[in-house]
Structure 1
Amino acid sequence: MDPKLLELQMLIESLEKIQGRGTELISYYIPANYDLAKVLEHLSYEYSTAQNIKDKTTRQNVSDAIAKIINYLKGFKKIPDNGLVIFCGNISSELGKTDIRLWALEPPEPLNIRLYRCDSRFVVDPLKDYLEPKQIYGLIVLDRGEASIGILKGNRIIVLENKESWVPGKIRAGGQSSVRFQRLIEQDVHEWLKYISDKARMYFDKYIENGNLVGILVGGPGPLKEKFVKEDYLPYYLKQKILGVYDTGYSNEHGLKELIEKAKDILKKTQYIREIELVKMFFEHIGKNTGLAIYGFDDVKRALEMGAVDVVLISEDYKENLKEILELAKQNKSDVEIISKDHPEGEQFSNFKIGAILRFRIY
């Protein structure tokens, strides 16, 4: 994960914990390249309006927050290229005490909404959209007995559907009965593949529409996957998105994971595969005692201060001292990766909590 996105995630989490008294917390989303003069004019209007608030304490706190925002914006010549998001208000939980705080950030991508709101909580949902992975891979594994459809989104496999088929197994009848039953089975297989195609369209179309579907991977333990791909079950716009067809041992959730492992050459730039490869490298250095992998906060911090860290690995559950680690990583141009527990390697790494792969030995 980009350290900037990690910092954004941490900010969102901290803002979500804050609850104001009444409607004293201001959230202000200013679009990219919006006229700064209009922003200041709007805030002056809101300041005047705030004088009509009946509750004296709320009126004072809202007025103070708006004044703080105005004073902050006076240091700008124009709104930043990606826009500006400001949170400000009294965060004191003690009655009668005031603690007006302000947070401001330029979004990682251009902001296209304008929003001003006073509430008991900060509005952070628009920021959460920036944390969502933009690149999506469709996953389909199938055979005559079962099929699973999912997506690879960032570092997570999301299972959208797992379905057992209605296609019967092998038949023992002979003669004309055998031929008749075979035709019925072939019709069932045809309907089964149509069902999978319809479900794929239902799940993948929205990612086609927003341009996020990079490609589709298809797998399965038998030859039915080739029939599904070669014949006209999938519509053209999905068929042209197929990046590869792979043999897998399963057609369930395990099959989806196996499909990704088989297609790792295609997926090597995805977050999921990057995490797995980094954790494997980490454990390889540990196992061979090369001195190029360390773990534990104190050792990682020391290595960062020495400029020895290539990449910091942090388990998704580890929340301690993150700001300090991110700041040191930024100063020393070290990468930071958050390792999810959605794959076996990440689950194993979670026991170490934090580690690093080094540029050179420090011991």
Structure 2
Amino acid sequence: MDVEELELQMLIEELSNYNGRATELISYYIPAGYDLAKVLDHLSYEYSTAQNIKDKNTRQHVMDALAKIINYLKGLKKLPERGLVIFCGNISNKPGDVDIRLWAIEPPDKLNIRLYRCDSRFVLDPLKELILPKQIYGLIVLDRGEASIGVLKGNQLIILENKQSWVPGKIRAGGQSSVRFQRLIEQDVHLWLKYLADEVRNYFEKDLDKLVGILVGGPGLLKEQFVNGDYLPYHLKQKVLGVYDTAYSNEYGLKELLERAKDVLEKTEYVREIELVKLFFEHLGKGTGLVVYGFDDVKKALEIGAVDTILISEDYKDKIKELMDLIKQTNAKVEIISKNHPEGEQFSNFKIGAILRFKI
């Protein structure tokens, strides 16, 4: 993971914890290409308007925050190319205490919105949108009795639906009854596949611009009928990257599908995480001396520039703040390991570890 992206994620988490005692926390999103002079004119207007706020403390806090923003912007020759996001306000919750803080962030992608808001919370959703995974994979596993639909976003496997079908099992009947029952079952199968196709459209078409591809799996032949028949619309059928055999058609089937499709997903965060954890345990098992684990040992390895990649479990990621300066100095990479896969669950017992550039 990019260190700047990790810092931004942690900052968003920090900002989400602040509550103003009134509408005194300012969020200002300035789009790319906007004129700095216009921004300063707007803030001067807001400063004049703030003088009409009835509550004395709120009025002073908002005016102080606006003055801090204006002073910061006057120190810039121009706005950053991708735009600018500013958060400022009194973050102290203690009566009588004042702590006016300012955060100025150049977004990771070009900012297209302009927003000014004074509220009791910082407005973070537009910033969160900018760091969401830009690519997603649609996942479907199915058989006659059950189906599951999900998406892979970054390192997150998200289960969208698990559904039991109405298709009956095999019915033992002879003669004409057998033929009639078989015909009814085939009709139910058709309706089942049609239902699944409609659900897939509902889930995937709203993110069509981010949908890299669709993976389909299942334990029987029904998956081929689903993909090759007239169920999926052409634009989704063209997105199918592969059809795989899986033992299950539930959540476990979706995870198995990701394992089977590693060749397609090799560049995704999900697969990268798994491969890094496997490499960590491989070095650990062979005693190569190219891994360390535990906060103190990882820190010592960073101090001598030995760390190539830090692995840190998602439940422990707040500790990375204490190492951020060393990470930047040594150009170490960081990977937050989720618990969405067995490897991540296993690694969570170690909390933090590192793959080294050389033995120490």
Aligned to 2:349: 351
Query: Cα distance, 1:75 vs. partner?
Result: 1.6
Query: Cα distance, 1:131 vs. partner?
Result: 2.9
Output the CA distance in 2 between the equivalents of 1:50 and 1:252.
56
The letter of the residue matching 2:89 is G
Instruction: State which drifts further: 258-267 or 122-131.
Output: 122-131
Aligned to 1:276: 274
Aligned to 1:222: 220
The letter of the residue matching 2:81 is D
Aligned to 1:173: 173
Alignment map for 1:45-60 (pairs within 5 Å): 45-60=45-60
Are positions 1:195 and 2:203 aligned together? no
Are positions 1:90 and 2:90 aligned together? yes
Output the CA distance in 2 between the equivalents of 1:32 and 1:202.
33
The letter of the residue matching 2:337 is I
Aligned to 1:153: 153
The letter of the residue matching 2:36 is L
State the Cα deviation string for residues 88-122 of structure 1 (Å, max 9, x = none). 11222232232211111101111111111112221
SS in 1 for 2:263: coil
Aligned to 2:136: 136
Output the CA distance in 2 between the equivalents of 1:21 and 1:162.
43
Are positions 1:329 and 2:338 aligned together? no
The letter of the residue matching 2:233 is P
Query: Cα distance, 1:320 vs. partner?
Result: 4.3
Contact 1:136 1:153 in 2 (8 A): yes
Aligned to 2:312: 314
Aligned to 1:303: 301
Aligned to 1:15: 15
SS in 2 for 1:265: helix
Alignment map for 1:182-261 (pairs within 5 Å): 182-208=182-208, 211-261=209-259
SS in 1 for 2:72: helix
Output the CA distance in 2 between the equivalents of 1:23 and 1:118.
6
CA distance 1:320–1:196, shift in 2 (3 Å)? closer
Query: Cα distance, 1:327 vs. partner?
Result: 2.5
Contact 1:16 1:121 in 2 (8 A): yes
The letter of the residue matching 1:139 is L
SS in 1 for 2:140: strand
Aligned to 2:121: 121
Output the CA distance in 2 between the equivalents of 1:338 and 1:81.
29
Query: Cα distance, 1:321 vs. partner?
Result: 3.5
State the Cα deviation string for residues 66-98 of structure 1 (Å, max 9, x = none). 111111111211111111111111222232232
SS in 2 for 1:65: helix
Output the CA distance in 2 between the equivalents of 1:122 and 1:238.
38
Output the CA distance in 1 between the equivalents of 2:328 and 2:6.
12
Output the CA distance in 2 between the equivalents of 1:137 and 1:256.
12
Aligned to 2:340: 342
State the Cα deviation string for residues 176-221 of structure 1 (Å, max 9, x = none). 222222212211111111111111111111111xx10000001111
SS in 2 for 1:217: strand
Matched length:
360
Cα RMSD over matched residues? Answer: 1.3
Aligned to 2:41: 41
Output the CA distance in 2 between the equivalents of 1:180 and 1:311.
62
Aligned to 1:65: 65
State the Cα deviation string for residues 264-291 of structure 1 (Å, max 9, x = none). 0100111111111111111111111111
Output the CA distance in 1 between the equivalents of 2:188 and 2:94.
68
SS in 1 for 2:150: strand
Unaligned runs of 5+ in 2: none
Output the CA distance in 2 between the equivalents of 1:154 and 1:226.
27
The letter of the residue matching 2:70 is I
The letter of the residue matching 1:352 is F
The letter of the residue matching 1:186 is E
Which of 261, 267, 271 lines up with 1:263 in the alignment?
261
Q: Percent identity?
A: 77
Output the CA distance in 1 between the equivalents of 2:165 and 2:318.
47
Contact 1:309 1:359 in 2 (8 A): yes
Query: Cα distance, 1:258 vs. partner?
Result: 0.4
Contact 2:317 2:336 in 1 (8 A): no
The letter of the residue matching 1:331 is Q
SS in 2 for 1:21: coil
Query: Cα distance, 1:2 vs. partner?
Result: 2.4
Query: Cα distance, 1:260 vs. partner?
Result: 0.5
Contact 1:33 1:78 in 2 (8 A): no
Contact 2:108 2:131 in 1 (8 A): no
